[in-house]
Amino acid sequence: MEQLTVGTLLEALRPFSSEARVRLLFCGLAPTVLESYRGYYEQLAFGWVDPADGNEYPTVAEVRGWLRDATKRSFTGWKGGTYSMTADTPLWVDNPGSATGTALVGVAGEYDADAVLLTETELRS
């Protein structure tokens, strides 16, 4: 599967209801706001939290807002530097400070059901 970007995720979320929840397929975790990815500072990563700990899933409308906001501001890399993001910026899933190589590769679900974010781990030799 090909890695999603800010723009391709916005497009993939278009068929979903704004009120639909967004979750990660892996363990049903909830994505959180975007930050500069530790692996590639000029790219973005969704953090995650466990809903079992009382956290809520964001809605499609919230995630769309995070994505649009990301292209309007600058991010600071983990070892410094300022980075601007665009619709072509690749997306990862990792909590701030981590770089496990977990790429966002797709969205599954139906209009009024959860939008499920699919990931794939980058294999390293």
What is the per-residue pLDDT across 52-92, written as a single tens digit (0 to 9) for each?
Answer: 999 999 999 999 999 999 999 999 998 899 999 999 999 99
Residue 123 reports pLDDT greater than 70: no
Buried-exposed string 80-118: b where 16+ CB fall within 10 A, e elsewhere: eeebebeeebbbbbbeeebebebbbbbbebeeeebbbbb
Q: Is 80 left (phi over 0), alpha (psi -120 to 50) or beta?
A: left
For every residue of 3-39, DSSP letters joined together read PPBHHHHHHHHTTS-TTSBEEETGGGPEEEEEEE-SS
In degrees and rounded to multiples of 5, residue 52 shows phi and psi of -65, -20
Residue 124 reports pLDDT greater than 80: no
- Sheet bearing 44-49, strands edge to edge: 22-24, 115-121, 102-108, 91-93, 44-49, 30-36
Q: Are 117 and 16 in contact (CB under 8 A)?
A: no
What is the residue whose two structure tokens read 């959860």? 114
For residue 110, what pLDDT is reported? 83
